[in-house]
Amino acid sequence: MYHWMITCMGISNISLTEEIRGALEDTAVAMIHSGKDTASFKAGSAEGRVRKERDYISFMNDGGPFFSAEVETDLGTGKVRFIIPGRYIQSLANGIEFYGRAHLDDRHLRQAAKAAWN
């Protein structure tokens, strides 16, 4: 089971691979830490630009900063819209390491969730 900290809200014209998704997540988190509104990323043969669209939006039972990314791949160009959940950002601010793309068992997920909400 892989646990990602990105909530995709829309994808157009491209396939969102694990490599692209990870690069978008890493870029967005770096933007949050640096206060930048735009940043470039590269993920294998894909590359593009991430833009922070809003400081916070609500989505279902979660919310966080809203980003969009223009992504160029070998197969064409597309757009991805996503949020980085507030609970993830809060855990980073509290010095709690979320497990990102690491393989987790249920025990680690429960520990991470408990730490994020306490």
* Mean pLDDT (the chain, rounded): 80
Instruction: Give how far Cα 13 sits from Cα of 71, 75, 77, 78, Å.
Output: 9, 9, 7, 5
What letter represents residue 34's amino acid? S
**What confidence tens digit (pLDDT) does each residue in 62-116 have?**
788 999 999 999 989 999 999 988 877 777 666 655 544 443 344 544 555 555 5
Q: What percent of the chain has pLDDT over 90?
A: 42
C-alpha dihedral, 37 to 12 to 4 to 102, nearest 10°: -110
3-state SS of 45-87? CEEEEEEEEEEEEEECCEEEEEEEEEEEECCEEEEEEEECCHH
Q: Which pLDDT band holds residue 10 (cuts at 50, 70, 90)?
A: confident
pLDDT at res. 60: 76
pLDDT at res. 44: 92
pLDDT at res. 58: 87
Whether residue 31 is predicted with pLDDT greater than 50 in this model: the reply is yes
3-state SS of 19-41? HHHHHHHHHHHHHHHHCCCEEEE
What's the whole-model pTM score? 0.74
What is the Cα–Cα distance from 73 to 107, expressed in whole angstroms?
37
